Structure 1
Amino acid sequence: MLKLADSHVHLDDASFDTDRDAVIARARGAGVSLQIIPGVDTASWPRIHALCTPGSGLFPAYGMHPMFMHKHQPEDLSKLSHWLTAHRPVALGEIGLDFHERTVDAEGQRDYFMRQLMLAREWDLPVIVHARAAMDEVTTTLRRIGKLRGVVHSFSGSLQQAEQLWKLGFHIGIGGPVTYERAQRLRSIVATMPIEYLMLESDAPDQPLSTHRGQRNEPARVTEVLQCIAQLRNEAQERIAAATTANVRQLFAISD
């Protein structure tokens, strides 16, 4: 069985409350033995900490997501710093910018993003970045702050934008969207990109694959993402599985 890493899955989400153990078991049965669970607000951090027990194959990240601005308070940044002290995670995230909706608090997002990036640099942690309708600004911000590493999850930008991230040493996370034939730009990037910057992800319970439209997504379906990418690249699944799992282990400093 191939060993796979899911670089982005919200296993603490309430949609898994009734069958979380079974979801994790299905993932393990499919070979997905390593999973990164990012936080989205302060309430999510204790849930994630409780899930990520030693030997579970689950690893925590803590951060404040731009789409949950209404839940964030300025003092939460101090809470995050204290939380990092008490419960050092493998990454800081999920953080970033999301300007998809016109009514967003763009300045508030920028402030939280910048300050969390500074925390990541201070703590020497990789970052898990969300970037929607804001890729150029996210990249500019990462470059301006400097001395950062991480992954832009659910990448949906252009080849030129991906290349700018790679120049900064950032990975891109690829999941369910690549399985849709209409995603021609994304599929073209994945087909030829340097494999050392590629990570697989589910983003479960979100972003179901084309074969599971309208359903709750699950981490076990990372195997189908792998199959799709192998076909696009005309490469063996074994090579892609080994490379992407190694990328996750290296970025997040997780020993085999």
Structure 2
Amino acid sequence: MTHCLFDSHCHLDFDTFTPDRAQVITHARQQGVKGFVVPGVTRRQWPQLVQLAQQYRTCSVAFGLHPYFINEHVPADLMHLERMLRDNPKASVGEIGLDAYCPHPAVQLHLLREQLVLAVAEKRPVILHHRKTMHLLLREIKQAQQKGPLLGVLHAFSGSVEQANEWASIGFKLGVGGVITYPRAQKTRQAIAAAPLRSLVLETDSPDMPVAGYQGQRNEPARITEVFAALCALRTESPATIAQQLLINTQQVFPNVAI
């Protein structure tokens, strides 16, 4: 049985998809994937995201300054981000966050805080990147929420049951991706098995984060079906119940997505 699914995080604008982007999207749709959220990483890439959303109705986009590309960002990018959000009222804010393996932590933190201010002001959800920074991000999100409502997704969740519950308690969704297809990821699998179903959304992070059995290959949104199968194996609810709740969760955090 084919269930209706949604890929809440995939980089379909990346160059690796240029030769066959239409086919990749069509193949995913044939597998039951009803839509996609495509987050931004640098200012120079934002215009391409606008074109992507115009060309494919099923693609919702986000604009953000990713910490991995910290050396490419300049202060004026924040002004352009504000303009992009106002010109694209359905867009989210992301991919933003903190990365302990990337340089300039003070600049990362400044950019994160300014982007959270914009997200609150423009009433947009955020897509958060983290590596060894989950506790710092939680602090920043709680502070931002004191200034206004703020929802979003903690992309590529890979934490404990306690951390999952902390993020769920502030209204954030946990991005569930290919990591749960690997039996060795015991801590994350246990957390996803125990987390409230209402706090989960599916993602592939295509072209990265390959699912088990596809290491070294370009990841694609169609493989979200394998993430879904792994999730169902970890949960006690029926696949139909899980699929339905996942779509509800996605629309709660991304109310403007096309499903």
Q: TM-score, normalised by structure 1?
A: 0.96
Could you say what secondary structure the match of 1:130 adopts?
Answer: strand
For 2:155, the equivalent position in structure 1 comes to: 153
Could you say what secondary structure the match of 1:199 adopts?
Answer: strand
Runs (4+) off by over 3 Å:
none
Return the letter of the residue paired with 1:151. Answer: V
Return the letter of the residue paired with 1:183. Answer: A
Q: How does 1:16-55 map to 2 (within 5 A)?
A: 16-53=17-54
For 1:132, the equivalent position in structure 2 comes to: 131
With 22-31 and 144-153 compared, the bigger mean Cα shift is at: 144-153
For 1:184, the equivalent position in structure 2 comes to: 186
Deviations 1:43-85 (A, max 9, x none): 1211111011276211011111011111100000000001111
Distance 1:95 1:89 in 2: 17
Could you say what secondary structure the match of 1:52 adopts?
Answer: helix
1:142 aligns with 2:141: yes
With 197-206 and 142-151 compared, the bigger mean Cα shift is at: 142-151
Could you say what secondary structure the match of 1:53 adopts?
Answer: helix
Return the letter of the residue paired with 1:248. Answer: T
For 1:200, the equivalent position in structure 2 comes to: 202
Return the letter of the residue paired with 2:108. Answer: Q
Shift of 1:234: 3.5
With 10-19 and 143-152 compared, the bigger mean Cα shift is at: 143-152
Distance 1:143 1:89 in 2: 24
Deviations 1:206-247 (A, max 9, x none): 000012111100000000000001011133222211111111
Could you say what secondary structure the match of 1:21 adopts?
Answer: helix
Asked whether the equivalents of residues 41 and 63 of structure 2 are also in contact (C-alpha less than 8 Å), the reply is yes
Distance 1:153 1:230 in 2: 19
Give the 3 Å change call, closer, same or farther, for CA 72–89 of structure 1 in structure 2.
farther
1:89 aligns with 2:74: no
Distance 1:153 1:89 in 2: 19
Q: How does 1:67-86 map to 2 (within 5 A)?
A: 67-86=68-87
Deviations 1:2-54 (A, max 9, x none): 11110000000111011111100110000101100000011121111101127
Count of matched residue pairs: 254
For 1:119, the equivalent position in structure 2 comes to: 118
Could you say what secondary structure the match of 1:5 adopts?
Answer: strand
Shift of 1:159: 1.9
Distance 1:105 1:237 in 2: 44
Give the 3 Å change call, closer, same or farther, for CA 48–105 of structure 1 in structure 2.
same
Identity in percent: 39
Return the letter of the residue paired with 1:208. Answer: P
Deviations 1:89-124 (A, max 9, x none): 3311100001035xx110010000000000000001
Asked whether the equivalents of residues 161 and 194 of structure 2 are also in contact (C-alpha less than 8 Å), the reply is no
Asked whether the equivalents of residues 31 and 225 of structure 2 are also in contact (C-alpha less than 8 Å), the reply is yes
Asked whether the equivalents of residues 90 and 252 of structure 1 are also in contact (C-alpha less than 8 Å), the reply is no
Q: Can you give the 5+ residue segments of structure 2 that lack an aligned partner in the other structure?
A: none
Give the 3 Å change call, closer, same or farther, for CA 62–28 of structure 1 in structure 2.
same
Distance 1:136 1:14 in 2: 33
1:243 aligns with 2:242: no
Distance 1:55 1:47 in 2: 12
Return the letter of the residue paired with 1:71. Answer: E
Distance 2:55 2:213 in 1: 34
Return the letter of the residue paired with 2:154. Answer: V
Distance 2:126 2:166 in 1: 16
